[in-house]
Structure 1
């Protein structure tokens, strides 16, 4: 008897050490064991779940679990709704499994959310790069003749007296050409900067909120939810201010009419993939608003230059912000539905080099 008990404890320890989520359900369809990896997926303590029915934890997974009495079945793309409010996609395999002479089922869950996110980010980044390359090519082609027009206009201005009536038209040409030149420069985005220093992201957020304080409507409130343990991040401070400012302004404008809560949250993500590289630690800044959301027809294109869901928008704020993050090896990821639009800013955390 003692031998059997120690064997059971040994195998329980093995299951607890697995990174694969494992749940064992007895014949009465109640959960009798859940390992730590499964607890992480559901964001629940296994001790709270043991004894409850499996379909309370995973409603709608299968209509009848007895389908898996003789052979294993696999369900793909099952969505688990967890707290805060995130959704996790998993693949679940249910196998008939006897444990301690009791018949039951073994549930094995594989988190596919990370894989989906990497594929989606990679696809969106390639689309953004293609659009950005087109815009940059056009911008360069436009910039050259604009420089010629501006130079010719300045020469003509020197040949006329300030009181000449032609000067009024030349001033208009000069101002409009300068405006177009500035627009083209914004389309090209910020230049690569080598001026990077170690900065506290919470000080960065505080500075950005100070800038927008004057234009924030009284019916928009700010909620800060910080992880104070985040170390300093190597960044170009001015460029990051511009990137974060664009995102915060968009969030405030989305709540201009009806008001709401602007939430800025910071967290650390572990073993997070950005592009093709996986970083041990990544800082995440979430900017969340309660506005009407981004229309579905433009959502997949919001990081393209000249695409905007706002009638007065230039469509340059988000592409410029994304460009800044790419220069920092980071990324911006958007999620949107009415009443909950979230922009997650990811920045790799690197260790300071000490002499």
Structure 2
């Protein structure tokens, strides 16, 4: 190996972009450490194997790689979804460039992961929507509560002037309905009390939720616990966090109860520790991820973008406040809540920082 060859190899090995070099038959000849990390493979182990053994996209994509080699035309694909050999799914941009020398033809693949960037963009949009919704709800609540107070007060004064008990029934209805609306508005706003943060074991929170669910369902739902015991204590308001998780689990219970055809209900509570997680504009060294997974019918596609809005519900008898309250609680803990749903598998993911300090990404 010449000095130039050694320098070129050193440059490739230290690039943060994943680089793969394939021969004319699409067998792997080289992959740099960034590619090994991205695809979770060993370049030495997969040397000489077809690229389809490393990851797959579609038959058309493999044909495009072959065409690129034979026609000597480079191409770029945006936001391609790769399925790796170990079952991982990656969203990437990649560029294929044919290389020719006197003795052989190669194909250079440059792969840029997009998952993190797409996730950050989605989170920022979600946080922005959340703040807009909060402002809208608070303004609306203020406009509703003021006249409600006047209506209730007027009904009380009118009741004092009435002498027949039968007539007071009407004013009682006005007062009761005004109180009901006021309570509904208060629930929309959520608690004004800031969370009282103290170290707590997240699994104690999840176990408390499991106890409540067991009592409510009377054993009709199978609860699966999948905990990571290495997660340290989290700085949370224990009671508020129980309420947030319970709201999501109850939502799952109601979805399972409405499944048609009926299913044997399962709810999984899973915890994992994450490193270098970005929430909004802050990067956290360590975070806790809690997933609530159910095998219900899933959330309608048209509701998935708005399920955290107050008064949005997929059930005719639903108030649409449980998830909005849960999101507000998680937000007050500087965390994030996400949802992915398809028939038979709905996943609510809660992300909570495990340290108080954070850095800008």
TM-score under structure 2 length normalisation: 0.84
Q: 1:223 to 1:12 in 2, by over 3 A?
A: farther
Gaps of 5+ in 1: none
| 2-structure distance, mates of 1:83, 1:248 | 33
- Cross-structure match for 2:239: 238
SS in 2 for 1:165: helix
| 1-structure distance, mates of 2:41, 2:176 | 62
Shift of 1:73: 2.3
- Cross-structure match for 2:136: 134
SS in 1 for 2:63: coil
CA RMSD of aligned residues (A): 3.0
Q: Which of 319, 324, 344 is the equivalent residue of 1:319?
A: 324
Q: Is the 8 A contact 2:56 2:83 kept in 1?
A: no
- Cross-structure match for 2:20: 23
Q: 1:253 to 1:217 in 2, by over 3 A?
A: farther
- The answer to whether 1:281 aligns with 2:282 is no
Please give the residue correspondences for 1:1-355 in structure 2 after superposition, counting only pairs within 5 Å: 3=1, 15-56=12-53, 57-60=55-58, 61-69=61-69, 70-81=72-83, 87-97=89-99, 103-154=105-156, 164-216=165-217, 218-256=219-257, 257-350=262-355
Q: 1:48 to 1:185 in 2, by over 3 A?
A: farther
Shift of 1:189: 1.6
SS in 1 for 2:112: strand
| 2-structure distance, mates of 1:14, 1:227 | 38
| 2-structure distance, mates of 1:286, 1:85 | 19
Q: Is the 8 A contact 1:74 1:91 kept in 2?
A: yes
| 1-structure distance, mates of 2:86, 2:237 | 31
Give the paired residue count.
348
| 1-structure distance, mates of 2:276, 2:172 | 56
**Per-residue displacement from partner, 1:34-61 (whole Å, max 9, x unpaired)?**
3443344334454553332113423423
